[in-house]
Amino acid sequence: MYSKLIGASSPGFFVILVDQSGSMDEHYGESNKADFAALAVNRTIYEIVASCRKGEKISDRCHITVIGYGEKTELIVGGRASQIEKPPHGTCPVRKKVSDGAGGLVDINWDLGIWVQPKAGNGTPMQDAFNLAADLVVAWTTENPDNFPPIVFNISDGAPNEAGATRAAATRLAGLGTTDGRVLIYNCHIGTGTPEIKLPASAAALPDENARLLFDMSSVIPAELLPIAQNAGLTPQAGSRGLIINASPEALTKLLVFGSGSIKA
Amino acid sequence: MNSTFRCFLAPKQGEDPEDCEDSVHPEPGASPEGAGRVFAVSDGTTTSFFSGLWARILTRHFAANPAAAFDLVWGDWLKDAQREWLTEVRQRAEAPEASFYTRNDVSGRRPGAATFLGLLLEPPNPDGGIPWRALVLGDSCLFLLGKDGTRSIALTRAEEFSNSVKAAESYETGHLHQPVQFASAPRGPEPALLDGDVILLATDALSKWLLVRAEFGQPVWGSVLSLGSPFEFETFIADARREAQSPLDNDDVALVVLKMGAPHQRHLQCRFDPKPKPQQSPPPAVRPGDISPASKVATEKPLSMPQSLTSAVISAASWATQHVRLIALSLAGLLVIVSALGWDARRTRRNGDTIAALNHEVAVRTDEIARLQEALNRSQRQGNTLHQEVEATKKATERLRTGLDQAEARNTALTGSITTQEEVVASLRTNLNHIQVQYKIVAGKLAESERQKTGLVDQLKRGAEAEKQKLDDAKFKIARLQADNDDMRKAILGLEQEIKDLKNAPPGVKPPTDPAPQTRNNGAARPQTRSGRRGFC
């Protein structure tokens, strides 16, 4: 299980759900939560697409979908790697620190593709996002029954509008899959509260009902993928779930790097 | 001991050969005989940057100076290859058509990464054995098929393969992975190669599958050893990928088969018996403008037959023409000879026998000329027939070509149409999803507003009832106050009357000491309220 290689003849499927509710306007890191969530998602898409490149060519090794939920629930990005290779909102220059190969870091100019723009407004219809993701996963797994199963990220800062409906939608989504395994759902609660809890194996230490709901809706990380989590800088244990509570920007980035790491196998 | 080798390379299923990110040395198709003594395979990790190029540079670099890879510090040996790789990718990043991904990756020092396995054969020992040494970095494996059994280096079990692998990187990244050295005596404990021994070098996917087959008690060494042509190799790999149980992973494959003479019989007997899945997966979708090699063969084959027929017809026509010339020349020559000889006979009359003989020969030659003329006529008729066939074939070819062009045009149009339809379907699906989502949101809002409306009506009803109750209470209070007011007015009138009476009373009459109780006790003076209570305001 979870061993099928992702390739052009057996592509993978990555779904990213982004909370765009009003509370995402709150301060977070150096900006606000919406800005950082968009930045993290754009970097993740960039890395996935870059991983599909062979020199100057691109190989359709995966399908990518981004669903935003807030004022409305909508598909923001969707398609094969070659279809979304060109960012719809262009690129923006950023400064990035990279290793100089001698133990130090150097600043470089870098162009980041813009697929998702920051947005914050209204409530948190998380159940709609999970249901839409489930519909897409059903269609995709029908066409790709033996591939590496879809991976779904959910980035949110708060409680869903309807906890019961959200739990039901997530349960439906988690029940889908391929012959290589069930859908993997990784939840990231971004926030400035304490403590930060990464990849918990138990719900005992979770602070409230919302955190426990996210725990219940998160997949246990398969043993086959634990080395990828470790490579991403996380420290999973047996039974760890793909969940971070009160995630810092660094932790959110690590979870996304881990989740998208299956394409790099 | 004659050594032979064969090298093979295959891309992932569904990908083009030029997209293969594995590399092998010598190149596939190199001479299988002779003094090859340097062999290498490298597996460019799929998602690293220009990893196929890096894998090719590594194997080429090793082939150019294999001893240095063993003698130098690994990091130093890599430097020349890293420089070559960097020069090439920088050129590509500076090209006008380079994408921002490539520019980012070059400026961001994103490395190419590749596993590596290099093998160097040494000159033979006095006893005929061939010493060897190998460098292994990552999960490519070396298999030794000896007289007594098989052995794999460096991974020995299928379960040892994982998604995390050590690799050589095209930059100095500060975490250099070191290769492991293996060697026969005197440098190491491995056996030197003897007559009948075989070495296989394979990248990860095939290495893992070979181990799986051996672990299941179904080794396939014999089939690997019998691989000859690239076609046989591709068939073998395709069958392995279709296996129902533990199929070969869909990854690039590089393989070197190095035989020291004829392989041992025990390995040759281990044949691969394919057992594919009952339902095979459909062939990869054809992209717009993409024609598979198979379809090319199918479209080109009908054209080759008319072409060969045309050649035959032209050859026959040429033969007939040449013979006509020969026959004509022969006839003219004979007539000259006969004329000369006849004139000489008439003049001398001494060579009658000769003339008779010559006349006979002329007759014979005339018959022959007649036969040849007939043959010529036949040839001409045949030539005409063939010419007609040529013309007919040309027309058929033209028709086929036209049909093919039309079919290709239709195919292109259909492919475009299919793509458009797919895009339309995708767009409609997206719109449908949007509409479904919007419908859910609107339905939710409608339900919420219904709930709010019901709540407001209830609230207004309750408010109206409360206001009515307040109005009733106020009316009641007013009635009570009016009653009290009447009481008070009557009391005042009573008191005024008492005062008048007192004023009018004759001096010495004592006024009553407590007139109020008498007045209050007069029930006609103060009416009771409806509640029977008084003075609560």
Does CATH number 3.60.40.10 belong to domain B3-284? yes
Q: What are the backbone dihedrals phi and psi of residue B137, each rounded to the nearest 5 degrees, phi first? A: -130, 115
- How does residue B420 score in pLDDT terms, banded at 50, 70 and 90? confident
Phi-psi category of A199—alpha, beta or left, where left has phi over 0 and alpha has psi -120 to 50? Answer: left
Torsion of CA B456, B461, B465, B467, to 10 degrees: 50
pLDDT tens for B119-165 read: 999 998 888 899 999 999 999 999 999 998 999 988 999 988 877 78
> How many whole angstroms separate alpha carbon B269 and alpha carbon B387?
57
- Taking the CA of residue B26 and the nearest CA in chain A, the distance in Å comes to 23
Whole-number pLDDT of residue A172: 94
pLDDT at residue B141, rounded to an integer:
95
CB contact under 8 A, B47 and A108: no
**SS3 of B529, please?**
coil
The answer to which of A135-144, B256-265, B401-410 has the lowest mean pLDDT is B401-410
Q: Kindly state the tokens that stand for B286.
A: 């054809």
Whether B178 contacts B118, CB under 8 Å: no
Closest residue, chain B, to A57 (C-alpha)? B19
Min mean pLDDT across B38-42, B71-75, B312-316, B426-430 is at B312-316
Do residue A108 and residue B108 have CB atoms under 8 angstroms apart? yes
Mean pLDDT check: name the lowest of B51-55, B178-182, B479-483, B525-529: B525-529
pTM: 0.59
Mutate which of B164, B434, B439 to test chain A, going by most A C-beta atoms within 10 A?
B164
Residue A263: closest C-alpha in chain B: B47
Average predicted confidence (pLDDT) for chain B: 78
- pLDDT at residue B310 tops 80: no
Q: Which pLDDT score, from 0 to 100, does residue B448 have?
A: 86
Give the DSSP letter of residue A204. Answer: T
Determine, for residues B107 and A110 on separate chains, whether the beta-carbon distance falls below 8 Å: yes
- Residue B41 has a pLDDT of 96
Task: Give the lowest-confidence range in A174-178, B177-181, B264-268, B312-316.
Answer: B312-316
Average pLDDT over residues B472-493: 92
Q: What is the pLDDT of residue B510?
A: 55
Please report which helix (H) or strand (E) contains residue A154, including its range: strand A151-156
Give the per-residue pLDDT at A27: 84
- Of B394 and B463, the one with more pLDDT: B463
- Give the Cα separation of B71 and B69 in Å (integer): 6
pLDDT value at position B530? 41
* Contact across the interface for A101 and B50, Cβ inside 8 Å: no
Q: Does A8 touch chain B (CB under 8 A)?
A: yes
Residues 6+ apart with CB under 8 A from A94: A109, A110, A111, A112
Work out the angle at residue B33's Cα, subtended by the Cα atoms of residues B117 and B133, and round it to the nearest 5 degrees: 30
Model-level ipTM above the cut of 0.90: no
Which residues of chain A carry a pLDDT beneath 70?
100-103, 261-265
Burial of B513 (0-12, 13-18, 19+ CB in 10 A): exposed
Domain ranges of chain B: 3-284, 297-432
Q: How close A207 comes to chain B (CA, Å)? A: 30
A3 and A53 Cβ atoms separated by less than 8 Å:
no
Tens of pLDDT along B369-386?
777 777 787 777 777 777
Strand A62-70 and strand A57-58: pairing?
A: unpaired
- What was the pLDDT predicted at A4? 83
Q: In terms of pLDDT, which residue wins out, B360 or B122?
A: B122
| R_g (Cα) of chain A, nearest Å | 17
- pLDDT at res. B63: 92
- Which amino acid is residue A62, in one-letter code? C
Contact between chains at A132 and B249 (C-beta distance less than 8 A): no
Give the domain A12-88+116-264 fold. Rossmann fold (3.40.50)
Cα dist from A2 to A150, A183, B415, B435, whole Å: 10, 10, 35, 34
A77 φ, ψ (degrees, to nearest 5): -135, 145
**CB neighbour class for B165 (10 Å; exposed up to 12, middle 13-18, buried from 19):** middle
